[in-house]
Amino acid sequence: MTFFNPKEEVIDIELTPEGKKALSVGRFKPSYYLFFDDNVLYDAASADDTAEHQNNIEPRIQEETPTMKTLYSFSEASEKKSTISEPNTHDKYFSLASVLGTSELSSEKFPRWDIRMFGADGPTINKSAEFMTSSFGTTRIPQVDVDVKFKTAISYESLDYSPIKEDPNLSSTTQADGSYICVEPRTILMQVLEKYSVFEKENFDIEVFLKETESLQNVDTSSEIDSYTQLFFKKDMPRVVEGILIDEPAEICHDLDSTYVEYYFDIFVDKEISEGIREVVTNKPKTQSRYISDMEDSVSTSGFEILDIYSQVVPDDACPVDECT
């Protein structure tokens, strides 16, 4: 790691290990760029409680502070066990994580999350935190812990009926006396809004990770290390093939294993949620920008249709005669 020479160097571009792998097999196709400022100290008082005149901030940042060259690897060589199809988790998700976001121009407030849970005997938010901690370090990703109650009962294999609406995939293994614990499936309904940010037609990307905790025991101390493995959604058949719109695309058959999200549960959003479930939502999102929720009477926050600006009825005499000159 070296510093920039401000007299000779202006920009430094480096490929990350994952970028080099993608380039080696012809899959490196950059399509966008991001900005970061985690190496900038805007307020000197945050470092040493020393008041700084406003006119001194800009020259301190741009002229007086040495700048380090690009850091393109974020894990030790011994940890790099990634492949082309499975990048190193540390490099992919915990490096360059503090990207600059975009706020709503008409608001002076920071973007924030508004998360609500619904349903009878519904899940409850237990606690929340602004940061996520793991063996890879601390990342500023808000964390929300949710408590979910499942209805259970004791049943027997010899019975012709179940005391509750049972899901065999959730029930326990059968004991020696033929008894087992049956579990009733349930729906977890939540509404997620991001306030004071730029409102677009598509506002969210959903990623699912499997968290596993490993206990380490030493002679005098013990500790736990959390690891995160990304799960993948099964792919849907594209609606447009070779420029032709397909009315009913054929369903792709997947051999679901523990690397798929659907192996554990199903996630439905917006129009995919049945109307009967959506009726319990009481906080209806307001119409924003030029998009209108196609389920404004129910729950949707991101399934939107573009308004037809030409559909309004215009009177024959759009303006008085004396004003049309």
Contact 205, 182 (CB under 8 A): no
Distance CA 226, CA 247 (A): 45
Can you give the pLDDT of all 325 residues of the chain as single tens digits? 688 888 888 888 888 878 888 899 998 888 888 888 888 888 888 777 677 888 888 998 888 888 888 877 766 665 555 444 455 666 666 667 678 878 888 888 888 888 888 876 778 888 777 777 665 567 777 888 888 888 899 999 888 888 888 888 888 888 989 899 999 888 888 888 888 888 887 788 898 989 888 887 777 777 777 777 889 888 776 666 677 776 765 666 667 888 899 888 889 888 888 877 777 665 555 545 444 444 444 333 333 343 344 444 444 444 544 544 4
SS3 content of the chain, % helix, strand, coil (to 5): 15, 25, 60
* Distance (Å, whole) CA 146 – CA 102: 28
> Phi/psi of residue 292, each to 5°?
-125, 135
Closest among 204, 194, 198, 200 to 306, alpha carbons compared: 200
**3-class SS at 229?**
strand
- Residue 91's Cβ-count burial label (10 Å; 0-12, 13-18, 19+) is buried
Question: CA-based angle 206:208:211, to the nearest 5?
Answer: 150
Residue 88 near residue 75 (C-beta atoms within 8 A)? yes
- Where exactly are the structural domains of the chain? 17-93, 207-266
